[in-house]
Amino acid sequence: MTFKILTDSTADLPESWANENDVQVLGLTVQLDDVTYETVGPNRLTSEVLLEKIAEGSKPTTSQVNVGQFEAYFRQAAENGQEVLYVAFSSVLSGTYQSAVMARDIILEEYPQASIEIIDSLAAAGGEGYLAMLAAKARKEGKSLQETKEMILDVGPRLRTFFLVDSLYHLMRGGRLSKTSALVGSLVNIKPLLWLDASGKLIPLAKLRGRKKGMREMLKRATADVAHDTAVVAYANDSDAAEKLKEQLLENEHIKKVIILPLGPVISTHVGPNTLAIFTIGKDAR
């Protein structure tokens, strides 16, 4: 018996890919100008609209997937005798993971034999999305839920996540960085480079003068110990720069494939316009 794969909208997976690969995506929500928007489904908020609103001065916020949403999904799976593997947004950046754990505990009281595995990806955006892609690939190859979980637990800690942002203001406003940390990016034409550390926390790494220099430094760090043939590039409203990063990544002898994923509205809310990101898998745990 195969198993169900679940993730959330911070994984930034294309809806078409999720549908084709039978991966369920639960959506965080975005509050924008006193209206709450979904981030999955036919009426979902797009990053394009969100970024336009931010440029006009809007200050969106986000909310986690709640316990009830997870409970409904887990209950249906338990009633149908289906195993579930949930690849979750970093627990350090959102309460979504904790919501899933609470919902699983509720369902296991009702259905003690249910199989619900939850992985804290300690990742976000294209990094989280790529782990979900690897899970779907493993399932397609006939791997069991436990085999797939073990593979993700091996790869996940070796995932490198780098974000090059125009400003740290949005991360500070959303509570993902302190005001003290945000000061590092307050100078004119300084482009902050950040990464997710071993605990899944977003940490400022460097401040680069100019975007081109920032892109070069991000590329250098992302390929320093690359040990996997696939990389992911993500972007907020700058697809040309994403394509440029793809070309440069493919110049590395170890990288054979680069997946480009637009940053979704939840992640875009926190990193802001013109953000670029690279995700690679290294040799050792970060």
> One digit per residue, pLDDT tens: the chain, 286 residues?
589 999 999 999 999 999 999 999 999 999 999 999 999 999 999 999 999 999 999 999 999 999 999 999 999 999 999 999 999 999 999 999 999 999 999 999 999 999 999 999 999 999 999 999 999 999 999 999 999 999 999 999 999 999 999 877 556 655 555 554 555 445 567 788 999 999 988 888 888 888 899 999 999 999 999 999 999 999 999 999 999 999 999 999 999 999 999 999 999 998 889 999 999 999 999 8
Same-domain status, 272 and 173: yes
Q: Which of 126, 156, 186 is the last residue of a domain?
A: 156
User: Among positive and negative, which fits the CA dihedral 271, 203, 215, 256?
Assistant: negative
Q: Which domain holds residue 110?
A: 3-156
Does some domain include residue 43? Answer: yes
Q: Which of 156, 177, 203 is the last residue of a domain?
A: 156
Same-domain status, 152 and 163: no
Q: Which of 156, 189, 213 is the last residue of a domain?
A: 156
Q: How many domains does the chain have?
A: 2
Same-domain status, 27 and 151: yes
Same-domain status, 73 and 174: no
DSSP helix, strand, coil percent of the chain (3-state; round to 5): 40, 25, 35
Token pair for residue 190?
């300084």
Same-domain status, 133 and 162: no
Q: At what angle do helices 96-110 and 67-79 cross, to 10 degrees?
A: 40
CA atoms within 13 A on the CB side of 8: 32
CA distances from 187 to 163, 171, 202, 209 (A): 18, 16, 20, 9
CA dihedral 21→6→10→96, nearest 10 degrees, is: 180
195 touches 203 (CB < 8 A): yes
pLDDT of amino acid 179? 53
| Alpha-carbon gap, residue 96 to 100, rounded angstroms | 6
Which pTM was predicted?
0.93
Token pair for residue 25?
């995506």
Does some domain include residue 277? Answer: yes
99 touches 89 (CB < 8 A): no
